[in-house]
Every structure is written in structure tokens, then in C-alpha cells.
Amino acid sequence: MFKHLSVFLLIVSFSSCQSQKTEREIEDEFVKKYAPSNLNTHGFTLPVDSKIPEVHQLFNDLSKNFYFYGDKDEFEKKAAKIIELDPNYPSGVLMSGFYVQDPEEYKKLVTKSYTLSKKTTLKSERDIMQAEYSLLVEENYPKAQKYFQKVVDMYPKSAAAIWSLGMAYYYNNEYDKALECYKKSTELIPNLPKGYEFMSVMYYQKKEYKKALEYLEKAKKYGANTKNDIYFAEYEHIVYYKNGFYDKTMKSIEKAYAYGKYFKNSESLKKTYQAAKKKFDSIQSSK
């Protein structure tokens, strides 16, 4: 009897091992079940935790818009559509606040996303929201790194996950580690402007201003532009200034002012313009 029982337990144990699926396999099956068959991921591989097929495509479109500096109005329309179709999709709520200027309002959206993620089907979604909450609300950067790393381990070919891990290193002033993440993101998607922009930022933080300019120009080559991203506009002109292009800095900022009130009211742009003008006038007067 004991022999038969041992054999039975061995079979049950073997069957259990055979049927046990990894988290990645579970998530791949979920996406296969609910995503449209013609889903265009634009090179991004993170899953979408929604049972509504249209949301899968819309969110991938938003990812492309963010990383490739797409049109602001188009982004907001698609984000609103996601909320309309699936108001409980955590990443949809998070992305809907991308252009919110008030830091406290943005933190509320991050917190709401984090709360919604506790009921999510996919582990990666929970880990991403935990990471975002740790990064942007708790400001616990090592904790954010821990959770982003879990997502990277599940999706090692996800440029988005690796880029996000880089942000957690950047916020913690670990510039070399952040640089490696951004570099890896551009290896996975070679024309990823948001990757090159933040490679530039890391070189800037390391006071390697020529390198910062080199990767800034690469980001622009692949689509980074001031009109669709005020933060890029503010950074671009600081890099020009640090490399001694004072006239170019001023003319470029004057052009940026035409893009709307956020540009006109940017204290960063005003200060950079004034500093560049002072330097330029000094050089001109000494000739």
C-alpha cells in the first residue's frame, strides 16, 4: 500500500511541476487572450492588464507617443479614451496624468494607480505601480529600483522596463547605473529618442558637457523635440548654454516661447535666456 501511495504522490508531484507556469507565461497567455491579434507594440513588450482589446493598442500607442515625443493633444485624447473604456486600468490612470503640471495632483493620480493595481491580474502591473509609487510619492528610490528590477527580470527585452529602472537609479544619483539602463534601452530600440535624451542627461550630471550635447543631438535626430515636451526644451537650452552656444540658446528659446503659455512662463527658460544673453553681450562688447 505504501509503495502504491509513494508512486501516486510522485505522479501527482510530477504533474504539478509540469503544470506550474511562470509569471511571464501567465501574463503572455493573458495578453494572447485579450489583446487584438494585430496588436502593434511599437517595439515595447510590457503587457496590458485589461480585458478590453482596444485598450491594449491604445496603451501601446501612448507608450510610443511618450518615448518618441508625440503630439500632446493626441496623447491626451487616447489617454481619455482608455479611461472611458477601462477606468480601473492602473497604467491608464497613471499615463492620463502625464501632462498634469501640479505635482500634488500628479501624486494623487500615482496613488490612485497604485491603489487600483492591488486588484490587478498581472504581477508586472503591480510591480510597476509599486515602483512608480515608491519613486514619485514615497521617494524611496532603492525600493523603486527593487520593483522595477523585478519587471526587468520578467521582461528582459522591454526597453520601457529597463528605461524605467534607469529613472530609479537617476533619482538616487547613481548616474553610471542609470546610464547603463538608458544605453540598453537604445540597444533594444535603436531609434529611441527618450533613451538618448537621458543618456545625455547622465553625461550632463557627470559634467561631461560635450558628451551631453552629442547624445542630445542623437535624441533630436530620432524625434526629440521641444514643441511636444517642455522638459526637453528646458534641458536642451541648458546644454547649449554649457557648451558656449549663447546666440543659439537665445534664438532657440525665443522660438520655444511661441509654443504656448507653459513655455512662456518657464522659469528655467527665462533664467537660461538671461544667462546666455549676458554672456553673449559680454563677448560682443569685448570685440
Given this model, what pLDDT does residue 9 score?
56
pLDDT-derived band at 2, boundaries 50, 70, 90: very low
Rounded to an integer, the average pLDDT of 204-216 is 98
Q: pTM surpassing 0.85? A: yes
Q: What is the Cα–Cα distance from 146 to 219, expressed in whole angstroms?
A: 28
Across the chain, what does the average pLDDT equal?
Answer: 93
Q: From residue 28, give the alpha-carbon distance in Å to each of 46, 48, 154, 176.
A: 10, 10, 11, 32
What percent of the chain clears pLDDT 90, i.e. is strictly above it? 89
Domain regions of the chain by residue span? 191-286
Question: Half-sphere exposure (CA, 13 Å, Cβ side) for 28?
Answer: 7
CATH number of 191-286: 1.25.40.10
Residues 49-98 pLDDT 10s: 999 999 999 999 999 999 999 999 999 999 999 999 999 999 999 999 98
Rounded to an integer, the average pLDDT of 121-145 is 97
Residues 22-63 pLDDT 10s: 999 999 999 999 999 999 999 999 999 999 999 999 999 999
Q: What is the Cα–Cα distance from 204 to 240, expressed in whole angstroms?
A: 11
Query: At how many degrees (to 10) do helices 53-67 and 23-34 cross?
Result: 110
Given this model, what pLDDT does residue 225 score?
94
